[in-house]
């Protein structure tokens, strides 16, 4: 049975060209770029080249890139590193736990956080930010694209507001990188990214921090990463991440279009075949994601049946003591729990083929019709 992977917002398969790049470091040679001998110099060269590649792709300065162990650490570093005691922080109620939980920890230290409702639209809109700003607001943090629904936030418009008011703006860019090209506007103070969402390795990510901003390091020790993140660098991960980002410049415009065409075919065909389906998130979405509610269907059963048939999708739900709770993001969007429980997220990658989408359409239609006949 040929398996079909449609859970690319969770993680993506390594690109063979990324593996090849990483093999340069996967040798029996010692690589520590802090060492002064020739081995150290060799690894320093690879580190610098990788940083330069990424800085070039993002049109930022190399010193503005801080390598981390992934998106979660980058977001922790940014949120905790920008935090000033007692600050008022604006965010949304559909952020990834890496942001939500970190803000909750900061609340215990005195932060005042406003969680703006994303509603059925699926993202906070610029007017909500305008309305919620107070003279005490010291930080805005929002995701560029939601991992559960794919809905994009109007980052550029919010960056302008932040710029005019001189308020630092952190963007969780984990789900936008690899989906479409974007520019980091002057109003964006910092962004977080993760390697494993764009056919790069797991366990590596980065924070971009504009050089005009001061950041308090969260991991202390050696002077790596310009003194902002101590610890010997994960050189193999960094080389892989740089390759994965470098590939995007060449592949993305066409890949974005292809993913969108296939995602739309999947959505439209399921709509034609089944009639009553609900697409979660009314706002514009990234090219690869659709989260669908199938009224009257048990989403968990459908997911298991799809898995048995070789198709991997997801419902973004939280696992709790043996049971599955509906996704908190869907619930926070005011989607009823009964509908959220019927819902499945399909997230494509640039490797997804039309044949895979055709098979998925056929199988989902069959399984749902069967469930409807024998509820
Ligand atoms: N932010 C978003 C929107 C995500 O989707 C994820 C991962 O699912 C993260 C942050 C965390 O990234 P990482 O898995 O690299 O820690």
Q: What is the pLDDT of residues 136-188, one digit of tens each?
A: 999 999 999 999 999 999 999 999 999 999 999 999 999 999 999 999 999 99
Residue 36 is predicted with a pLDDT of: 82
Q: What is the pTM of this model?
A: 0.96
Cα–ligand 1 centroid distance for 214 (angstroms): 24
CA–CA separation, 251 vs 349, rounded Å? 12
- Which is catalytic among the residues 1, 36, 250, 319? 319
Residue 324 is predicted with a pLDDT of: 67
Residue 179 is predicted with a pLDDT of: 98
Low-confidence ranges of the chain (pLDDT < 70): 317-324, 375
What number does the ligand 1 atom closest to the CA of 10 have?
8
CA dihedral 367, 369, 373, 374 (to 10 degrees): 20
Q: What is the mean pLDDT of the chain?
A: 95
Cα–ligand 1 centroid distance for 21 (angstroms): 24
Residue 91 is predicted with a pLDDT of: 98
Cα–ligand 1 centroid distance for 219 (angstroms): 19
What number does the ligand 1 atom closest to the CA of 196 have?
15
Q: Is 112 helix (H, G, I), strand (E, B) or coil?
A: strand
Cα–ligand 1 centroid distance for 96 (angstroms): 7
Residue 114 is predicted with a pLDDT of: 98
Has 287 been annotated as catalytic? no
Residue 34 is predicted with a pLDDT of: 79
Residue 369 is predicted with a pLDDT of: 94
Cβ of 96 below 6 Å from ligand 1: yes
Cβ of 175 below 6 Å from ligand 1: yes
Cβ of 70 below 6 Å from ligand 1: yes
Task: Quote helix, strand, coil % in the chain, to nearest 5.
Answer: 45, 15, 40
Cβ of 345 below 6 Å from ligand 1: no
Neighbouring C-beta atoms of residue 219, cutoff 10 Å: 16
**Residue with CA at minimum distance from ligand 1 atom 12:** 71
Q: How many residues does the chain have?
A: 375
| C-alpha separations of 259 from 80, 142, 293, 349 in Å | 35, 24, 21, 7
Residue 323 is predicted with a pLDDT of: 55
CA dihedral 25, 26, 30, 35 (to 10 degrees): 30
| Tens digit of each residue's pLDDT (9 = 90 or more) over 3-21 | 999 999 999 999 999 999 9
Cα–ligand 1 centroid distance for 204 (angstroms): 11
CA–CA separation, 245 vs 200, rounded Å? 8
CA–CA separation, 302 vs 312, rounded Å? 11
Residue 282 is predicted with a pLDDT of: 98
Instruction: Give φ, ψ of 18 to 5 degrees.
Output: -70, -40
Cβ of 194 below 6 Å from ligand 1: yes
Residue 200 is predicted with a pLDDT of: 98
Q: Is 132 helix (H, G, I), strand (E, B) or coil?
A: helix
CA–CA separation, 231 vs 222, rounded Å? 6
Residue 316 is predicted with a pLDDT of: 73
């Amino acid at each position: 049975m040929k398996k079909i992977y449609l859970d690319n917002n969770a993680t993506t398969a390594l690109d063979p060209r990324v593996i090849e790049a990483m093999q340069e470091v996967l040798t029996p040679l010692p690589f520590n770029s802090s060492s002064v001998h020739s081995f150290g110099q060799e690894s320093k060269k690879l580190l610098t080249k990788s940083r330069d590649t990424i800085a070039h792709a993002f049109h930022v300065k190399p010193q503005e890139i801080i390598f981390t162990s992934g998106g979660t650490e980058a977001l922790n570093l940014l949120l905790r590193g920008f935090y000033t005691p007692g600050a008022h922080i604006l965010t949304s109620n559909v952020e990834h736990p890496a942001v939500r939980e970190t803000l909750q920890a900061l609340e215990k230290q005195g932060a005042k956080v406003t969680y703006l409702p994303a509603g059925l639209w699926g993202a906070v809109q610029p007017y909500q930010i305008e309305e919620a700003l107070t003279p005490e607001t010291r930080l805005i943090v929002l995701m560029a694209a939601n991992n559960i629904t794919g809905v994009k936030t109007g980052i550029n418009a919010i960056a302008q507001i932040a710029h005019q008011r001189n308020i630092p703006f952190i963007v969780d860019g984990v789900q936008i990188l690899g989906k479409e090209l974007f520019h980091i506007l002057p109003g964006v103070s910092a962004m977080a990214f993760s390697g494993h969402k764009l056919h790069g390795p797991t366990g590596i990510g980065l924070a971009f921090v504009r050089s005009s901003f001061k950041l308090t390091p969260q991991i202390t020790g050696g002077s790596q990463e310009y003194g902002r993140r101590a610890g010997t660098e994960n050189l193999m991960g960094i080389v892989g991440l740089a390759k994965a980002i470098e590939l995007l410049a060449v592949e993305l415009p066409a890949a974005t279009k292809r993913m969108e065409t296939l995602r739309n075919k999947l959505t439209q065909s399921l709509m034609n075949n089944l009639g009553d389906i609900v697409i979660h998130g009314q706002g514009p979405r990234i090219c690869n994601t659709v989260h669908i509610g199938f009224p009257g269907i048990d989403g968990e059963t459908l997911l298991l049946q799809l898995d048995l048939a070789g198709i991997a999708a997801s419902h973004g739900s939280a696992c709790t003591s043996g049971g599955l709770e509906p996704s908190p993001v869907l619930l926070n969007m005011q989607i009823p729990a009964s509908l959220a429980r019927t819902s499945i997220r399909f997230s494509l990658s640039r490797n997804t083929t039309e044949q895979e989408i055709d098979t998925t359409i056929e199988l989902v239609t069959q399984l749902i019709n069967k469930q409807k006949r024998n509820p």
